[in-house]
C-alpha cells in the first residue's frame, strides 16, 4: 500500500502552524511521557547508557529566530505505571550556564548538540528524561501566544568508573575555563 499524498502536506502544515513542533529531539528518540497520554501505557524505546556524573548529549532540531527555551529533567520514578516525572531533577547544561537552553540565541536553523551533566550520585537501570520546550510566537504583532510541549526518552545511568570520573573532570574543567575566557573577552570589548 502506498502513502497518501495528503500525509506530507499535513505534516508540513502542522510544522508551519505550531512553533513548538519545529523544535524536536533527533537523538535520543523521544516518546510521549506516561500519564500525559490519557493514561495510555507507553513502552520504552531503545535505552542509551550513561555514566553517573557524565555527559548526556542531546541532538535537537532548532529553527532560527524563535523565542523560547529547552529544559531537561531526570525522572526518578520507581513505579513504571504512574505518571512520569513526579520526582524530577533538573539537568544542568555542561557549560555551567544554568539549566535552560535559550532558543533566541540560535542564529542559524539546524541541528544542535545540547550537552547536559548527569548528577554524580544517581544510578538507575531504567529511568527517563523529560524534555520541555516552550516557544513564544509573536508572528503577526497582534499578541503573543505561548506553546509548550513535553516528551520523554529512556536512559540507563550506571556508576562511573574511576577513569571516567577523571576524564569527565578534565573535560568539564576545560569547558568551564573556555566559557570563562570567552565571557571575560566579551566584557573587555563591551
CATH of the domain at 174: 2.60.40
pLDDT digits (tens, 9 = 90+) for 3-34: 333 322 222 222 333 333 345 666 677 888 87
C-alpha angle with apex 23: 22 to 24, nearest 5 degrees? 105
Q: Summarize the confidence of residues 101-128 as an average pLDDT.
A: 88
Domain region containing 121: 20-182
For the ranges 66-75, 148-157, 179-188, which has the lowest average pLDDT? 179-188
CA distance 48 to 57: 11
Residue 63 lies in a domain: yes
Residue 44 lies in a domain: yes
Which carries the bigger pLDDT value, residue 65 or residue 10?
A: 65
The DSSP 8-state label assigned to residue 93 in this structure reads: B
Which carries the bigger pLDDT value, residue 49 or residue 4?
A: 49
CB-count exposure of residue 67 (10 Å: 0-12, 13-18, 19+): middle
**Count of structural domains within the chain:** 1
Q: Is the pLDDT of residue 128 over 50?
A: yes
Contact 138, 83 (CB under 8 A): no
**Half-sphere exposure at residue 107, Cβ-oriented, CA atoms within 13 angstroms:** 0
Residue 3 lies in a domain: no
C-alpha angle with apex 43: 42 to 44, nearest 5 degrees? 120
Residue 8 lies in a domain: no
Residue 133 lies in a domain: yes
Q: Is the pLDDT of residue 175 over 80?
A: no
CA distance 84 to 36: 8
Residue 98 lies in a domain: yes
Percent of the chain past pLDDT 70, that is, above it, reads 64
Contact 75, 28 (CB under 8 A): no
Write down the mean pLDDT value for the chain. Answer: 73
Residue 89 lies in a domain: yes
pLDDT at 21: 36
Residue 7 lies in a domain: no
Q: Is the pLDDT of residue 61 over 80?
A: yes
CA distance 53 to 122: 8
Amino acid at each position: 500500500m502506498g502513502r497518501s499524498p495528503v500525509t506530507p502536506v499535513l505534516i508540513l502544515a502542522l510544522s508551519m502552524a505550531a512553533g513548538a513542533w519545529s523544535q524536536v529531539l533527533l537523538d535520543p528518540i523521544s516518546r510521549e511521557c506516561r500519564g500525559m497520554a490519557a493514561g495510555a501505557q507507553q513502552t520504552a524505546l531503545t535505552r542509551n547508557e550513561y555514566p553517573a556524573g557524565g555527559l548526556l548529549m542531546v541532538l535537537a532540531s532548532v529553527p532560527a529566530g524563535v523565542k523560547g527555551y529547552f529544559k531537561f529533567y531526570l525522572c526518578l520514578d520507581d513505579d513504571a505505571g504512574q505518571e512520569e516525572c513526579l520526582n524530577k531533577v533538573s539537568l544542568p547544561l555542561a557549560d555551567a550556564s544554568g539549566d535552560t537552553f535559550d532558543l533566541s540565541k540560535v542564529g542559524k536553523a539546524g541541528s544542535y548538540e545540547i550537552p547536559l551533566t548527569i548528577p554524580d550520585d544517581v544510578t538507575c537501570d531504567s529511568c527517563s528524561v523529560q524534555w520541555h520546550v516552550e516557544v513564544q510566537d509573536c508572528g503577526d504583532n497582534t499578541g503573543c501566544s505561548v506553546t509548550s510541549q513535553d516528551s520523554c526518552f529512556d536512559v540507563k545511568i550506571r556508576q562511573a568508573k574511576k577513569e571516567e570520573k577523571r576524564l569527565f573532570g578534565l573535560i568539564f574543567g576545560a569547558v568551564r575555563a573556555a566559557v570563562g575566557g570567552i565571557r571575560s573577552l566579551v566584557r573587555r570589548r563591551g
